Structure 1
Amino acid sequence: MNAYIFPGQGAQFSGMGADLYEKSETARELFEQANQILGFSITDVMFKGSDEDLKQTKVTQPAVFLHSVILSKTLGESFKPDMVAGHSLGELSALVANGTLNFEDGLKLVSQRAMAMQKACELQPSTMAAVLGLEDAVVEKICEETEGIVVAANYNCPGQLVISGEVEAVNKACEALKEAGARRALVLPVGGAFHSPLMEPAREELAAAIAQTKFHKPACPIYQNVTTTAVTDAEEIKKNLMVQLTAPVKWTQSIQNMIAGGATLFTEVGPGKVLQGLVKKIDRNAEVTSA
């Protein structure tokens, strides 16, 4: 069975999507439509902007989404997913790919998500840190015991977990994690504490936008970050998406469940190869490729 997976924020690179624009009429039409929906020329930033330009919040998330979704739409008849999943932001790309959301609604939600997260980041200094070489349960316990807000945010693969929260709490947790034997506990260059309780203002704002958006019956199941299980009910997908910003991304568990559900080939659709690497670390027998 073919599983298609979609990357999240951080996969962007300068020049992304330019080749699609040049080669495909479908891609050109969708990129031009995106410029109109967003009210600025995101294609200029994607194709010609610097890495610094691409880091702007209003650009990063729509850029990764557009690269993934437009790439999937240029694959034509060969794009036949039996199941899909997306890492954080990538979940919205996956929902367009399996027909739950149309292109325009998906892009609008991604843009609103980016702006809402930016506002939440500005309310309170917060950050994230990558933790390598410890069992999940040990990381969770240290987060619970650390004063302030710090939680497990991204379960990327066994032995690789990202924590998220208040700057001071994350720093304290990093020290305790190193003492507990973590190979690394490294603060990441991110704007805020994604997938933590500090994203509550963004979650509320995005949930209101999701509530106003039409969700259709998907063509195949999506394994969502929050539940990690196959979901095909449009209303259930909607509810899970509403809580995604304050809940952890359970990527390890999602991939394990996709394999248990019959996935034999994982195809990463979008910029980079990060997810392929994670899939191989979750199950070294899994077959991976790029779209």
Structure 2
Amino acid sequence: MKLPSTAPPAAARTTRAFRPVLAMFPGQGSQRPGMARDLVRHHGSVAVPLLERAERALGLPLTEICTSGTAEELAATDVTQPALVATSLVVYEVLRHEGGFAPGAVTGHSLGEYPALVAAGVLDPLDALRLVQVRGRLMAGVCERTPGGMAAVIGLDAAKVEAACRDASAHGLVEVANYNERGQTVVSGEAPAVAAACELARARGAERTVALPVGAPFHCSLMAGLEDEFAAELSRFRFSDPHTPVLSSVTGEWIGSGEHARELLRRQLASPVRWVDVLHTARADGFTDFVEVGPGRVLSALTRRTLPEATVRSTNDARRVAALIDETSHREKDIR
């Protein structure tokens, strides 16, 4: 495998006798009711203590939210974000403790960068959750002040979607928020401008546009006003250099240090998610094995369509978690 030039040398080494895995942590939109129920039921010795520590740190009933919360409860941005990150961290800890899961590198889609940074040793798990709680509150506040929305444009080249956003600017601010795959680009901004950009995109050949059920216009300039306030929050926490290489969805490139990670989390609020670049960088550096760590299968689907030759697995349910634990534990035995 070609090693990432900006990753710490020690982190890039591996004694594994199998292909290195890129662990991918999902972002907002992958949450679902009961997403941690099976984890608590089948892996309670790992899941319950982690969720209880998170509850004490945040003052949120996360165990209840993640196991029996309704879709309406999970729809609030300031609840969704810590709940999703907590669930992803539980999945990762279950895989690590019970199967010896040790990815060669990690990445995350927007919000997913927080558990990715925990897995890489950059952030303490509770610090990551505290930051995510503040992030969710700030983002929810933007939605209250500036009604906005997001929509996925399907079946149109990203450059044409960018042009549609520029041409819709007379109706307000609208920008590309997510470069998810070649045929799926997400736009974000003020509601009238998002609607106008979608109309233009359809007129120019898009197969369809889909309004996204999110609480705020993420990853566009409407979020730029949050950067200074969130930067002050980021400055309160320790960021260590990664012991495992991390790909940033802000740049699509490797994160060089803890301070670099801190700056990228500030920029992430108003910057587009460059998931296509993340996957192309991973492929260029030799990764062919991808595991989505957390609820949902959004990233698995995007990866399969972008890199059809790759091996892609998810941990969306108890069966898939058990299969990955079995696979990784057998690999560890083979190495020993």
Residue 275 in 1 paired to residue 299 in 2?
yes
1:73-222 matches, within 5 Å, as 73-75=93-95, 76=97, 78-146=100-168, 147=170, 148-222=172-246
Q: How far 1:195 sits from its partner (Å)?
A: 0.1
In structure 2, the residue matched to 1:28 is 48
**Residue pair 2:29, 2:214 contacting (<8 A) in 1 also:** no
Q: Which moved more, 1:202-211 or 1:218-227?
A: 202-211
Counterpart Cα distance in 2 of 1:189 and 1:80:
34
Moved >6 Å (runs of 4+): none
1:18 is matched with which residue: 11, 18, 37? Answer: 37
Counterpart Cα distance in 2 of 1:90 and 1:16:
15
Query: Any gaps of 5 or more consecutive residues in structure 1?
Result: none
What TM-score results when the alignment is normalised by the length of structure 2? Answer: 0.84
Residue 5 in 1 paired to residue 24 in 2?
yes
**Residue pair 1:131, 1:160 contacting (<8 A) in 2 also:** yes
Q: How far 1:205 sits from its partner (Å)?
A: 2.4
In structure 2, the residue matched to 1:264 is 288
1:230-249 matches, within 5 Å, as 230-249=254-273
**Residue pair 1:116, 1:201 contacting (<8 A) in 2 also:** no
CA offsets, 1:32-57, max 9 Å, x none? 01111111212112212211112122
Residue 37 in 1 paired to residue 57 in 2?
yes
Counterpart Cα distance in 2 of 1:251 and 1:102:
25
Q: How far 1:78 sits from its partner (Å)?
A: 2.2
1:65 is matched with which residue: 82, 85, 94? Answer: 85
Residue type matched to 2:221 in 1? Answer: P
Secondary structure of 1:44's match? helix
Aligned-residue sequence identity (percent) comes to: 41
User: How many residues get paired?
Assistant: 291
Residue 254 in 1 paired to residue 278 in 2?
yes
Q: How far 1:61 sits from its partner (Å)?
A: 0.7
What TM-score results when the alignment is normalised by the length of structure 1? Answer: 0.96
Counterpart Cα distance in 2 of 1:183 and 1:14:
30
Counterpart Cα distance in 1 of 2:75 and 2:215:
10
**Residue pair 1:21, 1:31 contacting (<8 A) in 2 also:** no
